[in-house]
Structure 1
């Protein structure tokens, strides 16, 4: 009977340890895939996470399974960010945050984007994960357009093209901010 009473505690401790391992593995995988691309070795990811390589295979099945989860988690962060803006009292502020957030991700996620574009098998995973992003951005744009703050012809897909020319060097922050202000001014309606 005493063992039965200890079981829930032991199970809870194992579960907490598994969650910590999962977090360390995901952090190590993100960093390693960003630096080495999809060819990153599972042994290296395991070492970086401080776990046995068997733990990776136990939790994720394969390197592709781990990579797909990293991609999905990446886009979940973006989706959550967009959801946090949906109820903003200021529709222009929400659109500005989208533009600024996209610019930050463009700089931060260069290796991530390169990795995806170099490996065609990741493009499908990426497009599935991205499906909710453009509609969420468009909903924010629609709100701002309804108040007359954003030009009526702006679409969610336009933002990536508008931001493609941003300087990405660490020493180009001032120039990048200037370009961002030009883009933001350009998407405002004439009446705003």
Structure 2
């Protein structure tokens, strides 16, 4: 008779270890791709993650597979953030959090955005991964419009353009906050 309790524990331990490796590899890949772009060496990513390069290929198949997953995960974080705002009882609060969140990501993701824009093969992966973002943003804006809280002509695409001029220097936090306040005041409806 086979003792199933011993064999059942071993795969679970391997899965936990594999999950830890997966998470470390993704974190290392994000950091390397942000600093080195898509030309980041797989050996360097593996070293940063504390795994053998073979483990990296085992989990992701190729550098392109890893890079596509990093891009997808990046936009999934954005989608999760937008989803967290959808059920807010206060539509203005949701729009304000949206604008502040977009400004924060803009600072955090400068290298990520530059990397995508400079490599045409990444633009397609990025476009596919972010398909749901503008509709989710527009949904938040539409709720605020229905409540009379934002300008009637405000569209989802307007926000990234309005935020593009925010100061990005580490020493410009006070100025950035002032500009954010100006943007937020500018998108409010005249009656609010």
- Normalising by the residue count of structure 2, what TM-score does the alignment of the two structures yield? 0.99
Offset, 1:4: 3.1
Q: Which residue of 2 aligns with 1:186?
A: 186
Point out where structure 2 has 5 or more consecutive residues left out of the alignment: none
| Distance in 1 between residues matched to 2:134 and 2:25, nearest whole Å | 29
Q: Which residue of 1 aligns with 2:164?
A: 164
| Distance in 2 between residues matched to 1:6 and 1:43, nearest whole Å | 35
Q: Map of 1:1-192 to 2, 5 A cutoff?
A: 1-192=1-192
| Distance in 1 between residues matched to 2:173 and 2:2, nearest whole Å | 62
Which SS does the other structure have where 2:154 is aligned? Answer: coil
| Distance in 2 between residues matched to 1:176 and 1:5, nearest whole Å | 58
| Distance in 1 between residues matched to 2:117 and 2:67, nearest whole Å | 14
Offset, 1:103: 0.3
Offset, 1:3: 4.6
Deviations, residues 74-127 of structure 1 (Å, cap 9, x unaligned): 000000000000000100000001100000011110000010011000000000
Offset, 1:69: 0.1
- Normalising by the residue count of structure 1, what TM-score does the alignment of the two structures yield? 0.99
Alignment CA distance shift 1:68-1:145 (3 Å): same
Offset, 1:2: 4.6
Which SS does the other structure have where 2:19 is aligned? Answer: helix
Deviations, residues 156-183 of structure 1 (Å, cap 9, x unaligned): 0000000000000000000000000000
Which SS does the other structure have where 2:143 is aligned? Answer: helix
Offset, 1:5: 2.6
Which SS does the other structure have where 1:80 is aligned? Answer: helix
Aligned residues: 192
| Distance in 2 between residues matched to 1:105 and 1:178, nearest whole Å | 17
Point out where structure 1 has 5 or more consecutive residues left out of the alignment: none
